[in-house]
Structure 1
Amino acid sequence: MTQILPLALPGTLVDHHRIDLTALYSTGWGIHTYDVAGTPNGEVYALYGVYRHTYGVADDEQDPAKAGFGYRIITRYSANGEVLASALFRSDGAGEPSAVVDGNDMSLCVLPDGVLAISTRPDNTTLVAPDLSRVLAAYDSKDRRPFGEFAPGDAFATSISVTPSGRLLCTVAEYGVWRYGNLLTNIVGVADGALTAHSKPVIKALAALDPAPAHHSGIDSRAHATYRGAPIGLANRPRPALTELVADEDPLSGWDDSRLGRPVALADDLFVVPVYAKTFRGGSRGRPFVFALVDDRGEMTGRLHGLHEWRDSPFTGFNFNLAADPNHGHAFHLNRYGLYAWNKAGVLRAKLATDTKAFKPLTHFTLAACSPDGDLLLVHTKQHLILRVPAPDDLTVLAAAVEEALRAYARQRTALKKEWEPVNWHWTLTSAPVYRL
């Protein structure tokens, strides 16, 4: 069933900071969506943030109506679209300290036991109760910085996804990737045990991006992430690296400074690992990218075929997300030029081009995830709504399903506006509980 869900701001937060919902984002405030995740029972969680930068206002300004701020918000929706609860925490280091470990590249995952995992780079993972009422545990890596004393923390993963049987598909950051003096995502691995508030499983590395991150020492070993039975670090990581396997595809500039995207599971033992070449300030359309198929032995068995580096470039607008429905063996990607769908063999089975009238509205959406039952979860970047698209078992009728969902979106949006009365597409939540984490 097609469904739309509002990415709402808690009314108490709007009132406390006197947020002007009519103001343009160019005045220094805005809303950004990080991730969306579904549960087997049809519920949905959304992770997004709101910030305000105040120019010309003192950093120690105490009046919340004038001071800048940054918050992350998690909202939980029932299977029928009702907002059940929200939780928020500071992301700017100000105010009441948060139990959630903050960081970059924030992502969301619902673990097999229903616990919510919030992960950020580098390898910080916070476990939150399903009802959003409290933090259960936090694995904090204590980010290493150049020229400073470093005391290793208790790290886990930069991102987590769950396979049908409950395996955890993870990424891990390493120091010195492409000779940078910080930690960047470099390892893809699988953990077969449960991640709980009391214990974490070992992540077995399958693939690496940079084959030899620079300036490693003993403190850079990841004891909970292993390759061939030994901790990741120093010279121990999978070889050949993904960039070595695809090195002949861009012989002029190579794959130095490339980035590893968040992998998705096509099956319990098959994963799609996106790799993107270096981006440039003057424009990156046409730069190479690979959606590699990697099995659980670490072998690159193929790729998702059918995308042209220029005509289908994800670098336009930086739309790099992939989503997968492992129960049917389908992978999806949405960028400015179309919605693409592949089967398990990596064959492109559908392309819904956005230069056609029917699918032009897709240019306003980003692909967030697939729900466990295979529905596509899209986020409207300006209207702050999640669109749930029932994806068919047969990809040859995907076009009809998406076209109907876009029509339903327009109808349901009108009804939701009458119910919520948003201001400039900003939705305010007043009825559900709001927790501070």
Structure 2
Amino acid sequence: MIQTLPLALPGTLVDFHRIDLTARYSKGWGPGVDDVAAGPTGEIYALSRVHRYIYGVADDEQDPATANFGYRIITRYSAGGEVLASAVCSPDDDETASAVASGGDMTLCVLPDGILAVSAGPNNTTLVAPDLSRVIATYDSKDNRPFEEFTPGDAFATSISVTPSGRLLCSVAEYGVWNYGSVITNIVGVADGALTAASKPTINALASLDPEPARQSDVDLRAHVAYQGAPVGLANRPRPALTELVAGEDRLSGWRDSRLGRPVPLADDLFVVPLYAKTFRGGSRGQPFVFALVNDQGEMTGRLHGMHEWRDSPFTGFCFNVAADPLRGYAYHLNRYGLYAWNKAGVLRVRLDTETKAFKPLTHFTLTACSPAGDLLLVHNKQHLILRVPAPDDLTGLAAAVEEALRAYARQRTALKKQWAPVNWHWTQTSAPVHRI
């Protein structure tokens, strides 16, 4: 079923801070989207954010109408598209700080037991009740150096995805990657046990990015991440690293300062691991990138083929997400130049060119994930709407499915405008409960 869902701001938040929804973002405020995920029974969760920062406003400003602020918002939708609840997470430096551990590159994942996992860099994972009413557990690494004395916390993962059988595909950050004095995602691994409030499973490391992070000590060992039976850290991590396997493909930097994208499962024992080379201020189009295929034995068995480094570059707009449908064995990627689809062998089966009239609207969307049923979840970057595109059983039907979804999006958007009366594409919900977690 094609669905269009509003990324709604809680009305209580808009009223409390007297947010001027007509104001341009250049005035110091704005919304954004971090991730969208779907559960096995059809429900959808969206993680978004809203901030206001006006230069000259004092940090201790008491009037909420003029004070600066920043919030993360989790929204839950029913399988039919109804907004069921929202949860507001306040920033760490707030007096009523959220129990949700924040950080960079925040992602969502619905665990096999229905619990929502909110992950962030470096290695922070929070478990939230499915109805968004409470935080069940927080695994906070407290690893936010540099320039601070490190106090070890209780870490888990920077991102989590679930395989068809319920395994947890994770990315983990390490200190000293590419000689930086900070913590950067460097390890891909799989956990076969359940992540609960009472315990966390061991993540078995499969692949690494930087083979030799600098200046590590015993404090940097990851006790819950294992490689060859010992904690990851110091000299113990998977070798050869992914960057060593593709070393000859980056003539400019040799993959130094490269980054890992979020890994996704293409099958229970096969994963897509995005890695992309160093980015430059003056533009990075044409820089190398690899969507590596890695099995659960840690072997790079291939890659997603068929994209040109310049013509199909994900560096334009920094579109590095890959989504996967392990049910059918398909992988998808969307960037400014097209929507791409591969089979399990890494063969490019479909490229929908955004230069064509029918698919040009895709340039305004970001692909976040596939639902457990294989539906593509897209977010419109300006109109703050989620588009759910039903997945075809055969990739030869993808073009028709996407065309129909984009036509339906226009119709459903018009209906939502009549129902919600948005202001400058800002949707405000006032009927569903709002929780502070």
TM-score by length of 2: 0.99
Q: Distance in 2 between matches of 1:94 and 1:147?
A: 22
Give the stretch that moved more between structures: 136-145 or 426-435.
136-145
1:354-404 superposed Cα distances (whole Å, 9 cap, x missing partner): 000000000000001100000000000000000000010100110000000
Give the stretch that moved more between structures: 179-188 or 52-61.
52-61
Matching of residue 19 in structure 1 with residue 19 in structure 2: yes
Check whether the contact 1:71–1:92 (CA below 8 A) recurs between aligned residues.
no
Residues 26-45 of structure 1: pairs in structure 2 closer than 5 A? 26-45=26-45
Q: Distance in 1 between matches of 2:254 and 2:32?
A: 32
Check whether the contact 2:91–2:97 (CA below 8 A) recurs between aligned residues.
no
What is the identity, as a one-letter code, of the residue corresponding to 1:426?
H
Give 1:50's aligned residue.
50
Give 1:336's aligned residue.
336
- Secondary structure at the residue paired with 1:415? helix
- Secondary structure at the residue paired with 2:55? coil
1:326-351 superposed Cα distances (whole Å, 9 cap, x missing partner): 01000000000000000000000100
Give 2:397's aligned residue.
397
- Secondary structure at the residue paired with 1:408? helix
Give 1:412's aligned residue.
412
Distance 1:144 1:403, change over 3 A: closer
Distance 1:21 1:144, change over 3 A: closer
Q: Distance in 1 between matches of 2:195 and 2:341?
A: 31
What is the identity, as a one-letter code, of the residue corresponding to 2:327?
N
Check whether the contact 2:122–2:144 (CA below 8 A) recurs between aligned residues.
no
**Structure 1: gaps spanning 5 or more residues:** none
Distance 1:99 1:301, change over 3 A: same
Once the 2 structures are TM-superposed, how far is the Cα of residue 92 of structure 1 from its aligned partner?
5.4
Matching of residue 367 in structure 1 with residue 367 in structure 2: yes
Once the 2 structures are TM-superposed, how far is the Cα of residue 251 of structure 1 from its aligned partner?
2.9
Q: Distance in 2 between matches of 1:427 and 1:212?
A: 47
Give 1:216's aligned residue.
216
Q: Distance in 2 between matches of 1:386 and 1:94?
A: 30
Q: Distance in 2 between matches of 1:353 and 1:82?
A: 33
Give 2:3's aligned residue.
3
- Secondary structure at the residue paired with 1:406? helix
Q: Distance in 2 between matches of 1:45 and 1:147?
A: 35
- Secondary structure at the residue paired with 1:398? helix
* Aligned residues between the structures: 437
- Secondary structure at the residue paired with 1:37? strand
What is the identity, as a one-letter code, of the residue corresponding to 2:196?
T
Which 4+ stretches in 1 moved above 4 angstroms?
A: none
Q: Distance in 2 between matches of 1:405 and 1:229?
A: 48
What fraction of aligned residue pairs are identical, expressed as a percent? Answer: 79
1:196-216 superposed Cα distances (whole Å, 9 cap, x missing partner): 011000000000000000001
Q: Distance in 2 between matches of 1:156 and 1:56?
A: 38
Once the 2 structures are TM-superposed, how far is the Cα of residue 144 of structure 1 from its aligned partner?
5.0
Distance 1:147 1:50, change over 3 A: closer
What is the identity, as a one-letter code, of the residue corresponding to 1:251?
R
Q: Distance in 2 between matches of 1:54 and 1:345?
A: 51
Q: Distance in 1 between matches of 2:116 and 2:227?
A: 27
Give 1:385's aligned residue.
385
Q: Distance in 2 between matches of 1:369 and 1:150?
A: 34
- Secondary structure at the residue paired with 2:174? strand
**Structure 2: gaps spanning 5 or more residues:** none
Give 1:139's aligned residue.
139
Q: Distance in 2 between matches of 1:64 and 1:148?
A: 31
- Secondary structure at the residue paired with 1:131? coil
Distance 1:27 1:419, change over 3 A: same
Residues 263-342 of structure 1: pairs in structure 2 closer than 5 A? 263-342=263-342
What is the identity, as a one-letter code, of the residue corresponding to 1:271?
F
Check whether the contact 2:350–2:395 (CA below 8 A) recurs between aligned residues.
yes
Check whether the contact 1:70–1:92 (CA below 8 A) recurs between aligned residues.
no
Once the 2 structures are TM-superposed, how far is the Cα of residue 142 of structure 1 from its aligned partner?
1.1
Check whether the contact 1:69–1:92 (CA below 8 A) recurs between aligned residues.
no
Once the 2 structures are TM-superposed, how far is the Cα of residue 150 of structure 1 from its aligned partner?
1.7
Residues 106-255 of structure 1: pairs in structure 2 closer than 5 A? 106-255=106-255
Residues 22-101 of structure 1: pairs in structure 2 closer than 5 A? 22-91=22-91, 93-101=93-101
Q: Distance in 1 between matches of 2:252 and 2:42?
A: 47
Matching of residue 433 in structure 1 with residue 433 in structure 2: yes
Once the 2 structures are TM-superposed, how far is the Cα of residue 152 of structure 1 from its aligned partner?
1.0
- Secondary structure at the residue paired with 1:397? helix
Once the 2 structures are TM-superposed, how far is the Cα of residue 157 of structure 1 from its aligned partner?
0.3
Q: Distance in 1 between matches of 2:315 and 2:131?
A: 37
Once the 2 structures are TM-superposed, how far is the Cα of residue 15 of structure 1 from its aligned partner?
0.2
Q: Distance in 1 between matches of 2:250 and 2:177?
A: 19
Give the stretch that moved more between structures: 249-258 or 281-290.
249-258
- Secondary structure at the residue paired with 2:332? strand
Distance 1:208 1:366, change over 3 A: same
Q: Distance in 2 between matches of 1:121 and 1:182?
A: 11
Q: Distance in 2 between matches of 1:153 and 1:215?
A: 20
Q: Distance in 2 between matches of 1:92 and 1:141?
A: 14
Once the 2 structures are TM-superposed, how far is the Cα of residue 151 of structure 1 from its aligned partner?
2.0
Distance 1:50 1:252, change over 3 A: closer
Once the 2 structures are TM-superposed, how far is the Cα of residue 94 of structure 1 from its aligned partner?
2.1
